[in-house]
Amino acid sequence: MYELSDKRTLDWPLVSPLSLCTVLAVYFWTVFSWGPSYMSIRKPYSLKFALAVYNLGQVIACFGLIYGILHSGWLTTYSMGCQPVDTSKSPEAMRAASMMWWMYMLKIVELSETVFFVLRKKQNQVSSLHVYHHVSMVLLAWIGVKYFPGGMITFSVMLNCVVHILMYTYYFLALLGPDMQNKLSWWKRSLTIVQMIQFCIILIHSSQALKEDCKISKFLVFLFMPNVVIIFYMFYDFYQKAYTPKKNKSISSNGSVSSNGLKSQ
């Protein structure tokens, strides 16, 4: 796998396999061991202000990533077809690589959403969908910055940022109270649909990398695409249980996008 990695990002912070494993080990220990133990003798924290700042920060960060990626090739030489990674050290190529690294950092930061659940004593919302979604996104982001720091994968990053802008705007507004949450109830359900549409678009776009004449590692593509399929299925399964007539009320109470976990209740 070493020979497939992009040599430009090898020495960047947290890109080594050991760094990745350390981050995930600390995450699992915090949310499944230390966190529940720490909160067992404490009342839940409100964290309303912290969540508001976090949500706004996510929106700003996503706008920044979109801007940076657009100026890394999409406004000049990139196309919607097969777009191999530019491994040169040109300004645009290095900007694309740095945007992929910042996206990876953002996915690591998003692990804190599970910590918010734990500190608010909402351990029931630390679901398999929530944990798998966040951990897999960190892994995919790591694969991106280590093996695909640029090229066609940046389209998926931009699309994900657009979806996250909608999501975190909803989370921020929901913090304003029950009245606002009732007004936005349609938005909550729609966000799950938007998530699933996003995954479908990503799969269709990424499938172009499987063409014989597309100079992108097929092995790495086969690592990426099945994870997207799994995440899509988990969101679809959640939607069926939460929003069909025979919905599971306990699941519905978690909220469609509680996979990111920033509801105000």
In this structure, is residue 33 part of a structural domain? Answer: no
- R_g over Cα of the chain: 19
Give the number of domains in the chain: 1
- Of all residues in the chain, the percent with pLDDT exceeding 90 is 72
- Active-site residue numbers? 133
Please answer whether residues 63 and 157 qualify as being in contact, where contact means their C-beta atoms are separated by less than 8 angstroms.
no
Mean pLDDT of 16-31: 97
Question: 143 or 264: which carries more pLDDT confidence?
Answer: 143
- pLDDT of 49 strictly over 90: yes
Q: What is the pTM of this model?
A: 0.88
Mean pLDDT of 53-70: 98
Mean pLDDT of 28-34: 96
Cα distance between residue 6 and residue 158, in whole Å: 21
- pLDDT of 19 strictly over 80: yes
Cα distance between residue 37 and residue 27, in whole Å: 14
In which element (H, E) is residue 226 found?
A: helix 218-243
Range of the domain at 78: 45-252
Q: What is the pLDDT of residues 154-211, one digit of tens each?
A: 999 999 999 999 999 999 999 998 888 888 888 888 999 999 999 999 999 999 999 9
Cα distance between residue 229 and residue 248, in whole Å: 23
In this structure, is residue 163 part of a structural domain? Answer: yes
Q: How far is CA 165 from the centre of its chain?
A: 12
pLDDT of residue 7: 93
